[in-house]
Each structure stands twice: as structure tokens, then as C-alpha cells.
Amino acid sequence: MESRPLPPPPQQNQPISLLGPTPADLESTSRMEKHLRDAGLYESPEELAAREDVLRDLRGIVDRWVKRLTAQRGYPDGMVSQATALVLPFGSYRLGFHGRGSDIDALVVGPSYVDRDHDFFGVLGGVLSEMTDDAVTELQPVPGAHVPVIKMRFRGVQVDLLYASVCLAVVPRDLDLRDRSVLRGMDLATVRSVNGVRVADEILRLVPDAGAFRTTLRCVKLWAKARGVYSNVMGFPGGVAWAILVAFVCQLYHNAAPSVLVSRFFKVLAPWKWPNPVKLRDIEHDDDELRLPVWDPRRNPRDRTHLMPVVTPAYPCMNSCYNVSHATLRTITQQLQIGNAVCQKIVASGGEWAVPLLRVDVKVAGGGGEGDLREWKGWVESRLRLLVMRVETATAGMLLCHPNPQAYAAKPTELQHTTSFFVDLSKPQPQEKEQQQPQVQFDLRETAEEFKREVYMYVSWRPGMEVEVSHNRRKDLPSYVLEQILPAGHLKRKRPQEDDEPSPSSSPASDD
């Protein structure tokens, strides 16, 4: 295949701001990164090494598979010795924001005489199924998928393996997939497979700061999964789409710190007027030779029906959110608006990502068991709305409460059973034209005592039933809460360092 020079890149988005981060932005980013690490969004060196071992072993299997096929088809020994196929990761691994437990998306690039249906799904699929020592489990070939794939768990890691053959008798180790000529002779399913790698590389080339992009994307991914809007199959944006959306905001704010980029992400996209497309650069139109379909609602009637166009940056440009429906778009928009409101509160509080909390501990001491705790907890839970009302009344509406409906139970002991509730505290975002009010501190100790007096009026109260109210930061959450909200297997949370904020006293003092 004759390599052609790469065409000049189409026009990229022009930045809105070139301002660099302030010391406060960097400090806020540091706090944000700590929360991401606490949430298990980064792999340990051991986990990263295990993932690299999986890719190395897969490359060995694929290399032997291609050499075997080359020999079986009567090619000379010299060609057999040169025969190989590339195994190229893409998705979150290639973009560099994969976390603990993430799967590996990988593309196998083979020579022209190795086909997808017989050789990849049939022969290689058979090799994988016959491996001993349970190296491969949950093997599931899906040849009829929109992007044909072999799904499996390889040495404990979930792997999605795709295939593409190129018009070359020998695949060079340094094959440049950015060159459009690699797409020659491919069907659409193969083009979609190859574009996993091409799109990831193009995103990284188009963002001004890859490190800031990755940190911001980790945060957005955590948020999207928590809010249930991260699934291409279910009609929400998938990993590629969220990466493009984050990269778009990075282009608009070239030098911003991740803590600022997260806020700008919601500020830009919450009011976005869909179906106006989000794209990282001008769309490259049809190649005179390749004639592959490109997303273009002016030419293609079907593209006009797309509700949320998030366009991939590599030729042939496609809408990564083609599955979005009216119902899922409404949910996405609502969640972006909620995220924007939360970020504005964080900005208003001086960039404090560790949102203050009221912690309500419900305890049954002595001989009381789980039955007594269930009864006592139900009563206290029914009274939480009174705590919310009292806080907002005592602060004249300058402090808002958002009770978390989930209760977190500590491991019971012979002496005590404990369950905790939490109430987020925040200050309302001032209107744009309102003058910024000076910071006000609130003493909530008397409010907490009034709440406790009301709770203890329970007609079935018995000795041993206790309730405590304290002021916490998220960084000071007890270990039994962290064990329930962090991913399984996450390392135990470290004790605060000497330069961290001191732990609050048992009584709620003030919100700052």
C-alpha cells in the first residue's frame, strides 16, 4: 500500500479563554484529585502491570495465530517468519483515564489474507476457547454486532477484541492508522473497528493539555456513572462521547485547571441547544477514492433525525450518540443542569469540593439488637425533615439542606448498633446581578439540640436508644461509610495528615 501524505488538519475550535490557573484553582484541583483517588478512579502500579501483562500475552497468542494461518496457506518460510498482527488498545486505556476494574478494548490488525469471519471468529476464537488453566473465561463471540467483537475475560481482565484486515501482505510494526489509505477496501463494520484507535489518537492530538483532559474526564465519568447516564447501549453517551464532550470544553478553555474545566463542562453543556452538533474540528467530507458515509444532516436524511450529535474527529466522522432518544436526551439534559447547579455552589463556596455535612448517628446501646435499631432508625429518619426545616429557618434560608436518603450501618458489636444519616449543607448561588454577600458563619449547636429533644419525645423510647448530631467534612467520613461507597477492594482510607483540616468536634459548630 502506497502511503500518502496526511492532509492538513481541518479547523479546530477557537478558545474562549487562554487564562491559566490561579493558586486557588490548583489547590481545588488537588482536592478534586484526592476525591477521585479515594473513589478508586486510579489503578495501583500492580494493577497497571497486570493489565500490561494481559496485552503482552494476547500479542503472543495473536502472533502465533497469524504465523500458523500464513504457513497453512502455503506462503514461503520467509513470509511466515515476518507474518504478524498488531494488538492496539483503544478506548479509556488508550486515552489514559482507565480506572480500577476497567476493561480493555483492543483492535487486532491483520494482513489482507486473514479474514474476520473464518479466521478471527472461527480460528482465533477456537484457540482462545481451548486455552488451559482457565486463562480465558466467559468467551462470547458476537460477529453480528454493529462492531463485531469477541468478548472474554482474559486472566481476570474483561477484554473486548475487534478485528480489521488491511490491504497489506505484511503488517508493519509501525503502521500509521492515521493515514486514510489504511481504510481502503474495508467494509463499514471494519472501518468502525479501526476508528476506535483513530478517534482516540485524534482526541489526544486535539486537546491542548492531555493531563488536564484526563483528570477532568475521570471526574465527568464518575459523575455520569453515578447519575445513570453512561451507557451507549441504553441510549446514553458512552465513553467515546463523554471523552469528546470533555475535549470540546478543554479546547474552549486552553489553560484551565481540571477543577475549573469540570465547572465549565456543566456551564457550557447544560444549556446546549441540541441538535446543534458538538465537534472538535470541521467535519472531513467524502474522500473521492474511499466514498465512506460521513455524518452530514444536509446530505443524509437519516442524520437529520439524530437528537444529540457528538461527532467523532477522525474520518469518516460519525455521531457517537446515534442511540440517544427523546427520553434519554431529556434525562441527560436534566442531569447536566443539576450538575451545573452543584458546580456553581462549589464555586460560590470558594472551590471547596469537600462539601460540609451534618451527620446524624442513630444508636442502640446495651442489650438492644437489630430489631430495636430498625425501629429507632425509622423514627429518627421520619424526623430528619424537621432538622432540615430548623437549619434553613435558623439561617434565614442562607444555608440549604439536602438529606441523603441512604442510611449507612456500622458493623454491630455486642455493646452497640449504629446507623448514620447525612445531610449536605450548601449556600444558595447568588443571582448574576446580585452583589456578592460576605461570608457568614452559622452556629448550629442549638438547632441540633432542639432536633434531638424532639426525637427523644418518641413514645416508645427506651434506655439505650441514642441520637447524635455532628458537623463533618466528606474527608472525615467514618470507615464503615467509605467501605459502602467506595469500589470493592479499595484500599483503606488513610488517616488525615497533620496539615489536613482538624476533625470537627462532636457538636455542629459552624459552616464555613
How far apart CA 247 and CA 214 sit, in angstroms, is 9
User: Does 322 carry a binding-site annotation?
Assistant: no
Active site includes 372?
Answer: no
What is the CA 278 to chain-centroid distance, rounded? 19
How far apart CA 53 and CA 76 sit, in angstroms, is 32
How far apart CA 85 and CA 110 sit, in angstroms, is 5
Of how many residues is the chain composed? 512
The beta-strand segments (E) located in 119-214 are: 136-142, 149-154, 157-165
Peptide bond into 141 cis (omega under 30): no
Q: Which of 93, 230, 315, 408 is catalytic?
A: 230
Active site includes 103?
Answer: yes
User: Does 104 carry a binding-site annotation?
Assistant: yes
Q: Which of 25, 93, 163, 221 is catalytic?
A: 221
Q: Which of 57, 63, 103, 424 is catalytic?
A: 103
User: Does 166 carry a binding-site annotation?
Assistant: no
Terminal alpha carbon distance of the chain: 65
DSSP 181: G
How far apart CA 63 and CA 52 sit, in angstroms, is 17
Q: Which of 160, 303, 372, 511 is catalytic?
A: 160
Distances from the Cα of 257 to the Cαs of 22, 260, 269, 347, 443, in angstroms? 8, 5, 18, 14, 34
User: Does 221 carry a binding-site annotation?
Assistant: yes
CB 282 within 8 A of CB 7: no
How far apart CA 401 and CA 416 sit, in angstroms, is 29
User: Does 170 carry a binding-site annotation?
Assistant: no
CB 206 within 8 A of CB 200: no
User: Does 378 carry a binding-site annotation?
Assistant: no
The angle subtended at Cα 293 by Cα 288 and Cα 297, nearest 5°, is 115
Q: What share of the chain is helix, strand, coil (3-state, %, to 5)?
A: 40, 15, 45
User: Does 103 carry a binding-site annotation?
Assistant: yes
Active site includes 160?
Answer: yes
User: Does 160 carry a binding-site annotation?
Assistant: yes
Q: Which of 28, 38, 102, 105 is catalytic?
A: 105
How far apart CA 306 and CA 170 sit, in angstroms, is 40
How far apart CA 210 and CA 440 sit, in angstroms, is 39
Active site includes 458?
Answer: no
Active site includes 460?
Answer: no
Q: Which of 28, 92, 165, 263 is catalytic?
A: 92
CB 258 within 8 A of CB 216: yes
Residues with Cβ within 8 Å of 173's Cβ and at least 6 positions away in sequence, in order, are: 84, 86
Active site includes 500?
Answer: no
User: Does 372 carry a binding-site annotation?
Assistant: no
Residue 142 region by backbone torsions, left for phi larger than 0, else alpha for psi between -120 and 50, else beta? beta
Distances from the Cα of 512 to the Cαs of 152, 349, 438, in angstroms? 50, 8, 11
DSSP for 429-466, written as a single string: PPPTTSPPPPP-----HHHHHHHHHHHTT-TT--TTEE
Binding site for ATP: which residues? 90-92, 103-105, 160, 221, 230, 239-240
Binding site: which residues? 90-92, 103-105, 160, 221, 230, 239-240
Active-site positions?
A: 92, 103, 105, 160, 221, 230
Binding site for Mg(2+): which residues? 103, 105, 160
